[in-house]
């Protein structure tokens, strides 16, 4: 087997996955279903949670800033209800990761993905969550690291800085033997909004080029919906398996995007706000609980069915079988591929 060191970026997609280190491989299996498809529930939002709870408080006639407990308790309730229907749940260190482990909110057997980056506005260079690291994510038992990278490929200096940060995280994941999922996100420039014609025109190319640039420094890509007419180009550009993010889209629209993306070659979904957004519109604890148990679970099932029916397995995408993966391991894999002197003879009955 190839030496268990950082994977070289020039490897083919097939070789990259054939030579995944044990920690990355088991992490990948923990966050996908038995067929190698992703059904990830994303609950790592920080600022959007604060805004939603703030708006709910105003709606109730009790305007106040959300407390730590408000955000934590909402995350635990949502995780308790919906994580059992996911292959993995993505959480943040501030309000969700350890909190949902300690409380038992995270369903048994569901993979855990830790967000590594600080929550920042679009256009600000990426950085670690202060006091947080890939090593800590690995040490607490997560299956994978998630990194969000805001991208504007027409801004060369900004893009170079973002790719440098992405490479830093990729190298840290290699060092600590944990899978990396990297999310690209386009954003309007100053003076634009998401409906500005210049941004609408620029966005598909940004997604395609970002997939090309980020692919060599990640294991799995998390990509925006680029528009139906651009799906083939995105799929061709992605040298890594990719999942579709919901970006807070309304569920009926996201559902259609999922079907089209899976048919185009995506390996699953990583969705959050499209599933639970209206939770924060419910004005009583009972109504919020009912929303999760009805609409929330129904939406999770819809996505599961679409992924089951249309998504491309990671293993089919890279052309590998369990037999291929088994053949990649020799008896000295644990010794960096070198024959160990003491292994030349076998002693004892065991």
pLDDT in tens, 17-75: 999 999 999 999 999 999 999 999 999 998 889 999 999 999 999 999 999 999 999 99
| Burial of 91: CB neighbours in 10 Å, binned 0-12, 13-18, 19+ | buried
On whether the CB atoms of residues 186 and 203 are closer than 8 A, the answer is yes
- Would you tell me how many other CB atoms lie within 10 Å of the CB of residue 140? 13
Low-confidence stretches of the chain (pLDDT < 50) are 1-9
Q: What is the pLDDT of residue 94?
A: 95
* pLDDT of amino acid 222: 98
What gap in Å lies between CA 300 and CA 39, rounded to an integer?
9
Cα–Cα dist 32/95, whole Å: 24
Helices (H), 189-335: 197-214, 231-237, 251-264, 273-276, 285-291, 297-310, 314-318, 322-327
Yes or no: say if 265 and 49 are a contact pair by the CB < 8 Å rule: no
Residues in the chain: 350
Name residues whose C-beta falls within 8 Å of residue 224's C-beta, 6 or more positions apart in sequence: 184, 185, 186, 203, 207, 244, 245, 247
Q: What is the pLDDT of residue 339?
A: 73
C-alpha 49/C-alpha 55 separation (Å) is 10
**Whole-number Å distance between alpha carbons of 229 and 245:** 18
Confidence (pLDDT) at 189:
95
pLDDT of amino acid 349: 74
Model pLDDT, residue 8: 45
Output the six-digit token pair for 229.
Answer: 């007419």
d(CA 125, CA 269): 26
3-state class (DSSP) for residue 174 = helix
Q: How far is CA 142 from CA 46, 91, 252, in A?
A: 19, 10, 31
Contact between residue 18 and residue 328 where contact means Cβ atoms under 8 Å apart: yes
What pLDDT sits at residue 331? Answer: 86
In DSSP terms, which residues pair with 38 in a beta bridge?
32, 268
The SS3 assignment for 153 reads coil
Residue 250 is predicted with a pLDDT of 96
Residues 6+ apart with CB under 8 A from 315: 17, 36, 321
Round to whole Å and give the CA distance between 243 and 299: 17
Its pTM stands at 0.92
């Amino acid at each position: 087997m190839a030496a268990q060191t950082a994977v070289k970026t020039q490897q083919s997609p097939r070789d990259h996955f054939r030579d995944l280190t044990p920690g990355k491989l088991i992490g990948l299996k923990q966050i996908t279903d038995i067929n190698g498809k992703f059904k990830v529930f994303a609950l790592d939002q920080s600022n959007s949670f604060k805004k939603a709870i703030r708006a709910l408080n105003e709606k109730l006639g009790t305007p106040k800033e959300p407390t730590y407990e408000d955000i934590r308790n909402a995350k635990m309730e949502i995780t308790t209800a919906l994580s059992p229907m996911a292959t993995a749940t993505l959480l943040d260190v501030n309000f969700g990761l350890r909190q949902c482990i300690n409380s038992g909110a995270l369903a048994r057997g569901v993979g855990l993905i830790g967000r590594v980056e600080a929550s920042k506005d679009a256009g600000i260079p990426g950085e670690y969550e202060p006091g947080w690291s890939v090593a800590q994510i690995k040490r607490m038992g997560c299956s994978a690291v998630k990194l969000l990278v805001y991208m504007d490929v027409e801004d060369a200096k900004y893009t170079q800085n973002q790719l440098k940060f992405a490479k830093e995280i990729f190298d840290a994941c290699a060092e600590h033997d944990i899978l990396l999922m990297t999310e690209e996100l386009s954003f309007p420039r100053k003076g634009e909004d998401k409906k500005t014609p210049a941004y609408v025109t620029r966005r598909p190319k940004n997604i395609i080029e970002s997939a090309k640039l980020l692919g060599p420094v990640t294991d799995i890509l998390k990509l925006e919906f680029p528009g139906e007419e651009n799906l083939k180009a995105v799929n061709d550009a992605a040298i890594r398996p990719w999942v579709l993010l919901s970006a807070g889209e309304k569920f009926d629209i996201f559902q259609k995007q999922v079907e089209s993306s899976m048919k185009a070659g995506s390996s699953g979904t990583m969705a959050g706000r499209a599933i639970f957004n209206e939770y924060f519109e419910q004005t009583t604890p009972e109504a919020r609980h009912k929303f999760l148990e009805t609409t929330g679970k129904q939406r999770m099932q819809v996505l599961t069915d679409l992924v089951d029916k249309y998504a491309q397995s990671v293993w089919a995408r890279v052309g590998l079988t369990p037999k291929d993966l088994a053949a990649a391991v020799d008896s000295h894999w644990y010794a960096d591929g070198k024959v160990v002197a003491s292994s030349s003879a076998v002693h004892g009955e065991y």
